[in-house]
A and B are shown apart, each in its own frame.
Chain A
């Protein structure tokens, strides 16, 4: 397997693991720096293409999973999954989960005093097409308080999990909404240095917006790209 082309390492927008303002990182961030290793088949392969067998069908509309419509503002989120060279990444599984419009998760451990919505689970799964495109329908999630510090509130966000083409490209991130004043004071979003934080903010888009039905947001996700193939060494014959 000599000459195996690996994936790029993290770029400048990657957050550090220890973010003291985000309290939960203090006892959970490793103290040792991660060890670089040469790319092997383990890192350059992944389960892409097996999602339907592993996890079942796509569930791209989070507003039709129950008897009635969920409360809140219906939105469409659409975009592309690309690599760092701007190439489409097809057949990528994107799993999503989020709070309801009042900012509450259905999860038993969420004790925030906001109402549950019987018509909203907040979990879905979409798969990119041959051009790397995806689209899902949901409601805009609410902000909610959390216990990190006094008067701490999470900005509205949707969790995204992408399987991508390889073990090395696995990504879990969060999508934030434009013009949300909570982003700049949120320790989790702030783990990402400026100006790269803007990569996690969707933008309002009239081309995704549907008349008389839903506001639209565009959000492209960029996964690590392949490293350049090493050039053949020149052999100089004097």
Chain B
């Protein structure tokens, strides 16, 4: 009797028919050791070409396989720095967090096929996505351009803002938030700020700490806890 090689395999599992098995893949923590797999050199510099964003001090240089990002030119708009610390519920800085940034260009256009507006131009020198690992003191830092305003629900117009995600050891699911700019046009009628309780809105508004620098601490828990969004 010969054995058909096709029979020499485990029985198929009907994973895709079981609703417990087919559905959104659950989120898990990024853990403390993501620095050689995720942040890359230049990942936090959306304007130029610098080492910002990575922590090459945390791994041998020969293992640093990810590239320095390669901007094609200088994007239009006002160049700014966005910085702040990630703080936990005990007031301690979080040195193993990763902050991601997603924003529109200076004209208020997202670099995405899902932004259908043909009347607002894509900036060929600006993607609008950045990634920064926090330093030992919990500080993150981006260099980018001040975003333009983009439409909101109905006929509303959103105030200038960047979307942020916070990942860290002990954060099981990324925390989505926004950063607005103190004194910017449109903050008072922004449709997203409007759904945030008034007493917590300040946790989303960066203050100016230099001629071209804005600062906002991201507080994971407790007094002054940052508003996070359910997307």
Could you tell me which A residues sit within 8 Å of B by CB distance? 1-2, 4, 7-17, 19, 22-50, 53-57, 59, 65, 84, 86, 95-97, 105-110, 121-125, 159, 161, 165-168, 170-174, 188-189, 191-192, 195-200, 203-204, 206, 220-224
Q: Are A171 and B25 in contact (CB under 8 A)?
A: yes
Question: Is B182's CB within 8 Å of the partner chain A?
Answer: no
Asked whether B23 lies within 8 Å of A199 as measured between CB atoms, the reply is yes
Q: Is the interface of A mostly helix, strand, loop or mixed?
A: loop
**Interchain CB contact under 8 A, B111 and A203:** no
* A15-B172 CB under 8 A given contacts A42-B158, A45-B110, A200-B26: yes
> Is B63's CB under 8 angstroms from A106's CB?
yes
- Does B192 make an interface contact (CB < 8 A)? yes
Q: Are A35 and B37 in contact (CB under 8 A)?
A: no
Q: Which of A29, A159, A224 contacts B37 (CB 8 A)?
A: A159
Instruction: Please encode chain B, from 142 to 164, with 1 for each CB lying within 8 Å of some chain A CB and 0 for all others.
Output: 00000000111111001001010
A38 with B10: in contact, given A15-B27, A196-B20 (CB under 8 Å)? no
The 7 closest A-B pairs by CB, nearest first: A97-B37, A24-B170, A56-B67, A45-B112, A34-B230, A47-B129, A195-B20
Q: Is there an interface contact between B115 and A27, defined as CB atoms closer than 8 Å? A: no
Min C-beta distance of A200 to chain B, whole Å: 6
The answer for the CA separation of A8 and B59 in the assembled complex, in Å, is 38
Residues on B with beta carbons closer than 8 Å to the beta carbon of A36? 195, 229-230
A105 touches B171 (CB 8 A): no
Contact among A19, A40, A123, A173 for B25, CB-based, below 8 A:
A173
- Which B77-126 residues sit within 8 Å CB-CB of chain A? 88-90, 92, 94, 96, 100, 102, 104, 110-115
Q: Name the one of A11, A56, A84, A165 contacting B114, with C-beta atoms under 8 angstroms.
A: A165
Given contacts A95-B38, A159-B34, contact A11 B24 (CB under 8 A): yes
Contact of A54 with B69 in the complex, beta carbons under 8 Å: yes
B186: Cβ under 8 A from any A Cβ = no
Give the A-B pair count, Cβ closer than 8 A: 299
Q: Which residues of A contact B43 (CB under 8 A)?
A: 54-55
> Does the CB pair A25–B171 fall under 8 Å?
yes
Q: Contact between B40 and A55 (Cβ–Cβ < 8 Å)?
A: yes
B172 and A191 contacting across the interface, CB-CB below 8 Å? yes
* Nearest CB of B to A53, in Å: 7
- With contacts A35-B196, A95-B38, A121-B36 taken as known, whether A9 is within 8 angstroms of B65 at the C-beta atoms is no
With A10-B24, A30-B221, A170-B165 already in contact, the answer to whether A40 and B192 are too (CB < 8 A) is yes
Q: Is the CB of B221 within 8 A of A172?
A: no
Which residue of the partner chain B has the closest CB to A110?
B33
Could you say which residues of chain A place their CB within 8 Å of the CB of B167?
172
- Per the bound structure, the CA–CA distance linking A175 and B101 in Å amounts to 25
B contact residues around A35 at 8 Å (CB): 195-196, 227-230
**11 extra interface residue pairs, beta carbon distance < 8 Å, beyond A34-B229, A50-B129, A199-B25:** A29-B89, A29-B170, A29-B220, A36-B229, A38-B192, A106-B60, A107-B35, A109-B32, A124-B37, A172-B167, A188-B172
Q: Which one of B22, B35, B37, B66 has the highest number of Cβ atoms from chain A below 10 Å of its Cβ?
A: B37
Residues of chain A with a CB closer than 8 A to B200's CB: 32
